[in-house]
Amino acid sequence: MDQHAANTVAEKPPFPDNVAHNRRIRPPWPAVTLWIVLLPVLLAGCAGSPSGPSHPRESAPPGISHDGFAQTGVASWYGPGFHGQQTACGETYDMYALTAAHKRLPFQSRVRVTNLDNGEQVVVRINDRGPFRKQRIIDLSLAAAQRLNMVQSGTARVRIEEIASPASPKKRYSLQLGSFKRKENARRLKREARDVGLSHIRVSRTKLQGGRYYRVLAGQFSSRSEARSALDQAGSHFPESFILAD
Per-residue pLDDT tens for 185-195? 999 999 999 88
Kindly tell me the burial class for residue 70, based on how many C-beta atoms sit within 10 Å of its own C-beta (0-12, 13-18, 19 or more): middle
Q: Which of 105-109, 142-146, 225-229 has the least mean pLDDT? A: 225-229
- The reply to whether domains 70-164 and 173-245 share a CATH topology is no
The band of 57, judged by pLDDT with boundaries at 50, 70 and 90, is very low
Higher pLDDT, 197 or 27: 197
Cα 35–chain centre separation = 49
50-55's contacts with Cβ under 8 Å and 24+ in sequence apart are none
Q: Tell me the residue type at 101.
A: A
Identify the band that residue 113 occupies on the pLDDT scale cut at 50, 70 and 90: very high
* Run of H or E including 9: helix 2-11
Sign of the C-alpha dihedral computed for residues 213, 218, 219 and 221 taken in this order: negative
**CA-to-CA distance for 123 and 112, rounded, in angstroms?**
4
Where does the pLDDT of residue 139 fall: very low under 50, low under 70, confident under 90, or very high at 90 and above?
very high
CATH class label, 70-164:
mainly beta
Residue 114 exposure: Cα atoms within 13 Å on the Cβ side: 10
The amino acid at residue 144 is A
**Predicted pLDDT at 72:** 96
Q: Which residues of 89-118 are buried (b: 16+ CB within 10 A; e: fewer)?
A: eeeebbbebbbbbbeebebebbbbbbbeee
**pLDDT tens digits, 171-188:** 788 899 998 989 999 999
Task: Report CA dihedral (103, 108, 112, 118) to the nearest 10 degrees.
Answer: 60
Task: Classify residue 84 by its DSSP letter.
Answer: T
Q: In Å, what is the CA distance from 126 to each residue of 74, 107, 151?
A: 16, 5, 19
Among 1.10.287.470, 3.30.70.270, 3.40.50.11780, 3.30.70.1070, name the CATH number for the domain at 173-245: 3.30.70.1070
pLDDT (tens digit per residue) in 58-80: 333 444 443 468 999 999 999 88
- Please give the pLDDT value at position 210: 67
* pLDDT score of 52: 34
Residue 50 has pLDDT above 60, yes or no: no
Asked whether 181 and 245 are in contact (CB, 8 A), the reply is no
Tell me how far apart the alpha carbons of residues 117 and 115 are, in angstroms, rounded to a whole number: 5
**pLDDT score for 44:** 43
Cβ atoms of 100 and 141 within 8 Å: the answer is yes
Q: What pLDDT is recorded for position 150?
A: 97
Q: What is the CA radius of gyration of the chain?
A: 41
**pLDDT higher for 13 or 219?**
219
Task: Tell how far CA 100 is from the center of its chain.
Answer: 21
Domain ranges of the chain: 70-164, 173-245
Assessment of whether the complete model's pTM goes beyond 0.75: no
pLDDT score recorded for residue 48: 37
